[in-house]
Structure 1
Amino acid sequence: MEQLQSVPMQVKKSKEQQFVQFIIERCKQDKGFAARLRRADNPATEYQSWEVLGPWVDLENKYQRLPYAAVAAAIGRAKVIANGNLSLGKALANAYAEKGSTQYSDQAKARLRRLLACDSVEEVCRVIRPVLTLIDSKGVQTLDYSKLLSELRYFGEKSKIRWAQDFYGQRAQGEQGEDA
């Protein structure tokens, strides 16, 4: 009887993971590319990123385009070298964390509440821009941009709950790796 050879299975990357990997790699190689992306989440200059976003999304559909633009702009600004593993809620909590304290500042809570009050993809993509800039400026660990992109693409109650639970540290460790 023939023995079956075990062939290592390749895990297929999601569209979000492929996009984030593409953007990170291109930003590392091309500073002009990164500069165009930094303008992607500004409505007045967003068109400069359409060449990059076009192959990934329907540019006419703002509910597809805006999450990709927001994440691409954040990557371009943050100058990341690899996708991270930190959720948005945890990154926001870490950005305001004081050494030795488990309390979160009123400012951190206010930013979280503002994100949770958003009712549409369009609104959350507009509100998240300064939050992502703040997180990057505080030097906390790198965000999981592919997870964030997925949460923005399918923005709704589940995304809000996940951000709140991650912020307050109530999600179990096993749930941290779940996809949106």
Structure 2
Amino acid sequence: MSETRISTKDRAADFVGALRRARNDRGRMAALRRGLIENPRLRLDAWPVIAALGGDPGNEVYVAVGALYASHPEECSAQNLGESCRRIAQEGGKDVAESFERRFRRLLACDGADDVVRQLRSWVRLAASKGIGLNYQALFGDLWNWTWYADSVRVKWARSFWRAGDGVLPSTTEVNTTSPAL
């Protein structure tokens, strides 16, 4: 008997679809939000809901995406998290853009998916405060692949955040264009 392999894209679509259907169930959403709590005993409250939605409660990607979605269920068709972070930074104006850029650099510097999720909590709160949605299916896929392809995910997010040549987000680092004195 052969084992059926489910693609990451299908996993994401199935799980986020289940989250959408449960969106108005306040009890389930409250339990899912507890998935972001550091206390392991409270995090367990999210597990039965994740399992009921077809996810794997033992996989941190399901826990994280479920909890983040429950915290801010507004979605958008952004290409990836980098694009949503860019929109958040733009909402603050040019004076605030540099602090968002520093925050985004911290996100890119994360080693493990658990570090990324810790950073994502504040980005999701910012998105909620500004009425900016997230593409949870893309986020699911990126977190799923982080362990093996973190650099590719970082590059994808960075390209979306810093679009070359548009001048919308100022760079916080100056590039030295002069040659060093000999």
Provide the TM-score with structure 2 as the length reference: 0.73
| 1:117-157 alpha-carbon deviations (Å, 9 max, x no partner) | 111112112221111111221112x2110100110111111
| 1:68-110 alpha-carbon deviations (Å, 9 max, x no partner) | 2221112112133xx4211211111111215886x97111111
Name the count of aligned residue pairs: 148
Q: 1:31 to 1:66 in 2, by over 3 A?
A: same
Q: 1:100 to 1:14 in 2, by over 3 A?
A: same
Q: 1:66 to 1:99 in 2, by over 3 A?
A: closer
Q: Structure 2 unaligned segments of length 5 or more: list them.
A: 1-8, 165-182
Q: What is residue 128 of structure 1 aligned with on the other side?
A: 120
- Report how far residue 18 of structure 1 moved: 0.8
Whose helix fraction is larger, Structure 1's or Structure 2's? 2
Q: Which of 108, 115, 138 is the aligned partner of 1:147?
A: 138
Q: What is residue 72 of structure 1 aligned with on the other side?
A: 66
Q: Which of 88, 91, 97 is the aligned partner of 2:81?
A: 88
| Structure-1 separation of matches of 2:73 and 2:143 | 21
Q: 1:34 to 1:99 in 2, by over 3 A?
A: closer
Secondary structure at 1:154's aligned position in 2? helix
| Structure-2 separation of matches of 1:16 and 1:130 | 22
Aligned partners of 2:35 and 2:64 also within 8 Å: yes
| Structure-1 separation of matches of 2:57 and 2:23 | 22
| 1:9-62 alpha-carbon deviations (Å, 9 max, x no partner) | xxxx6111110110121122x111111111111121211100022342261xxx
Q: Structure 1 unaligned segments of length 5 or more: list them.
A: 1-12, 60-64, 171-180
| Structure-2 separation of matches of 1:127 and 1:19 | 22
Secondary structure at 1:124's aligned position in 2? helix
- The two structures, once aligned, show a CA RMSD in angstroms of 2.1
Identity of aligned residues (%): 28
Secondary structure at 1:148's aligned position in 2? helix
Q: What is residue 22 of structure 1 aligned with on the other side?
A: 18
Over 3 Å off, 4+ runs = 98-101
Provide the TM-score with structure 1 as the length reference: 0.74
Q: Quick one: which amino acid aligns to residue 123 of structure 1?
A: D
